[in-house]
Amino acid sequence: MGRPKGSKNKAKLPVSTGEPITFGPGVLTTYSEQYPAPSVSLVKPDPTIKYQIVEVDKPRPTQGWDKENRENVVVLKEHPGFIYLLNKLAYQTALLKATLELPATNQGRHKDMRDVEFLQSGIYWTKWLKNQIDAATQRVRSVPQPALDEEERAFKELQATLNKVGGD
């Protein structure tokens, strides 16, 4: 199977019979309206390249993620305005999911696949944002680790040099 030798993959246009071509409910067009002739310019384009200088504001350097900034972000989790924004984000995610899962009989059904992709990307990015916020506002609890051999040896040497005063 395949193309015969020497054939090119060219699109074939219908031959004009002068009769109107009907497509769509009640829409009539002629061959020239459906297949317009390509426009040809007799003016040669100017080969000179023109540059424009655009001034851009210098971005402010971002602050490092130090202990104070981390603590300020963690405290946001209890702020009423922040809680409201998180609830609004959850509501938006639920609304996008409900719109995506509309039944086929509903008049609000998606027009094409682009609408579906738009809704799916909205759901993805709202979930991503929620995960990022949860990770940034979560307090990190340190888990005690056993001491390394060098640390333990140094601690014992330090303990040996200390003198007890008073008592037992």
Looking at the structure of the chain, the number of domains it has is 1
* pLDDT score of 72: 86
Q: Is residue 115 assigned to a domain? A: yes
- Supply the pTM of this predicted model: 0.46
Q: Which residues of 142-165 are buried (b: 16+ CB within 10 A; e: fewer)?
A: eeeeeeeeeeeeeeeeeeeeeeee
Q: Is residue 166 assigned to a domain? A: no
In tens digits, what is the pLDDT along the chain, a chain of 168 residues?
A: 555 555 555 545 555 555 555 555 555 455 555 566 666 666 676 778 777 887 878 777 766 778 888 888 888 888 999 999 999 999 999 999 988 887 765 566 677 888 888 889 999 999 999 999 998 888 777 788 887 888 888 988 888 888 777 765
The CA distance from 50 to 48, in Å, is: 6
Give yes or no for a contact between 112 and 152, defined as CB atoms under 8 angstroms apart.
Answer: no
Residue-range definition of the domain harbouring residue 126: 67-136
Q: 3-class DSSP state for residue 88?
A: helix
